[in-house]
Chains A and B, each alone.
Chain A
């Protein structure tokens, strides 16, 4: 503690705010991450199967979704944050704080993740899909037993990439009232001119990113051409 006080006195002074902002960032990441993962995966799968040579081609669904995803992907996140304020207010009752940040974060994250999921699923050899069809698998069977099953390492990779970009988005959301580490760095670091706070925030974010990347890489490596936990049949 003494040591920390000597190198980052301001951080120690505002330690309560610091811990609170860490919690806020964590909440934003977890909540918007889980929601975005579910929606993005769903949209990625739908786009994959409804495209022209997909297993359930449907031009209308494909094009409508494709345009919506491209639209939200094209809007810079800061603009999106402002653009979505009325919607956020009407849905969750407030546009500030963690609660108000979830919706714009999901909107900012889903289009990006959807495209990443599409790319991951496009990496599944169409021959495998064909073989599954020839064995009598239906649409649901092919989605779960071929597409999602074979794409696991790539899905892990793109989830990590998306999670890291989501961390970036939460700090931006912080700038407009969501709280979190980003807001803490701006208000207490830059605003009060405490550079030690800025450095600690940067270091903390760096550690989170490196950790995420490391875990993701290890998981992806251990699921390539095998299951994570090897099954043994006798």
Chain B
């Protein structure tokens, strides 16, 4: 488990102070894929870099699997001990950071060399890792001969070489095209399941969170403003910034723009524009045809989207319900009693 308590980090330079991480408290469970999302400058990178002390905190407490990494009130790792602890915490980066003058083998072998391991041990471990990332045929290639996705795979293998229990990922897919992003996310999920690897993912893309994370923190101005189960957050976001992120990852998010452009036209007197959220407890599509029959209302779908989250599917729909005022009201009540969340927009 990764435990973070009251963690603070402020950067001071000639232009003044920047509070990059402010009183952050988090618990990340073993074997979990945990997401941290936020806009540029929110402090995500700083937070993740504090975890392996690439950046030194100002105050607070960090422990990983029971080992205290930093404690402003007690002992803090340094020197040889810190280097040893870092071997238990893998890290991957947006820019891959492979050694350009080393081939794939030597890049992956980097953390294994000078640790007292024999050549044979190193070779067999490197081969094992190459198989895991599916790049056995690139063993002698140099980074300049690899695609972005392949480079990130090598970086992942290198980060996992000394068998860490935790993998920190700082925007690891941000420099990749959608296909490569998908394959890297697949690989991370596979590693998480196969090796029971705890993965902390930093991103500014909600689609990444949606795709593989179980829990998520939303960061703004150095603070965690919302935290919880990805499914719950998607189904019921609280903070404006969270809603913004969710809208960015869903066609239903286009609603605001459509309203602004007056692209949705309906009879204001007789209809109501609503946003429906179908959770995993809701009955699903059948309910739509059911209500039209039951309450004699018309349901005109404007936008719809289904998300496959790790915990289940989540449907979103923007629709105009029109009919007699009383009937529309009854329809909404009926939907709510069937675990559909209804937001009346207009």
Q: Is A20 in the interface zone, CB < 8 Å from B? A: no
B142 touches A135 (CB 8 A): no
A149 touches B99 (CB 8 A): yes
Q: Is B143 in the interface zone, CB < 8 Å from A? A: yes
List which B55-105 residues lie within 8 A (CB) of chain A. Answer: 79-80, 83-87, 89-91, 93, 95, 97-103, 105
Chain A 138-181 interface mask (CB, 8 Å, partner B; 1/0):
10010001100110100000000000000000000000000000
Number of interface residues of B (CB under 8 A): 39
Q: How far is the CB of A57 from chain B (nearest CB, A)?
A: 12
A138 touches B54 (CB 8 A): no
A127 to B172, CA, bound (A): 13
Interface stretch, picked from A26-34, A94-102, A225-233, is A225-233
A131 touches B140 (CB 8 A): no
Instruction: Knowing A136-B86, A138-B80, A230-B140, say if A131 contacts B97 (CB, 8 Å).
Output: yes
B89 touches A225 (CB 8 A): no
B139 touches A233 (CB 8 A): yes
Instruction: Knowing A130-B54, A131-B93, A233-B105, say if A136 contacts B162 (CB, 8 Å).
Output: yes
Q: Is A137 in the interface zone, CB < 8 Å from B? A: yes
Q: How far is the CB of A133 from chain B (nearest CB, A)?
A: 6
Q: How far is the CB of B93 from chain A (nearest CB, A)?
A: 6
Q: Is B129 in the interface zone, CB < 8 Å from A? A: no
A146 to B106, CA, bound (A): 12
A127 touches B105 (CB 8 A): no
Q: How far is the CB of A112 from chain B (nearest CB, A)?
A: 25
Q: Is A128 in the interface zone, CB < 8 Å from B? A: yes
A141 touches B114 (CB 8 A): yes
B140 touches A231 (CB 8 A): yes
B54 touches A145 (CB 8 A): no
Number of interface residues of A (CB under 8 A): 28
Instruction: Knowing A135-B159, A136-B86, say if A130 contacts B101 (CB, 8 Å).
Output: no
Q: In the complex, which residue of chain B has the Cβ closest to the Cβ of A228? A: B101
B83 touches A127 (CB 8 A): no
A134 touches B162 (CB 8 A): no
A128 touches B97 (CB 8 A): yes
B101 touches A150 (CB 8 A): yes
State the 10 A-B residue pairs at the shortest beta-carbon distance, nearest first: A131-B97, A134-B91, A127-B97, A136-B86, A136-B83, A136-B87, A225-B144, A135-B111, A233-B105, A225-B100
List 14 A–B pairs whose Cβ atoms lie within 8 Å, in order of A's numbering.
A128-B98, A135-B87, A135-B161, A136-B83, A136-B162, A137-B83, A138-B83, A150-B99, A150-B101, A152-B101, A225-B144, A226-B144, A227-B101, A233-B123
Residues of B within 8 A of A (CB): 52, 54, 79-80, 83-87, 89-91, 93, 95, 97-103, 105-106, 110-111, 114, 123, 126, 139-140, 142-144, 155, 158-159, 161-162, 168
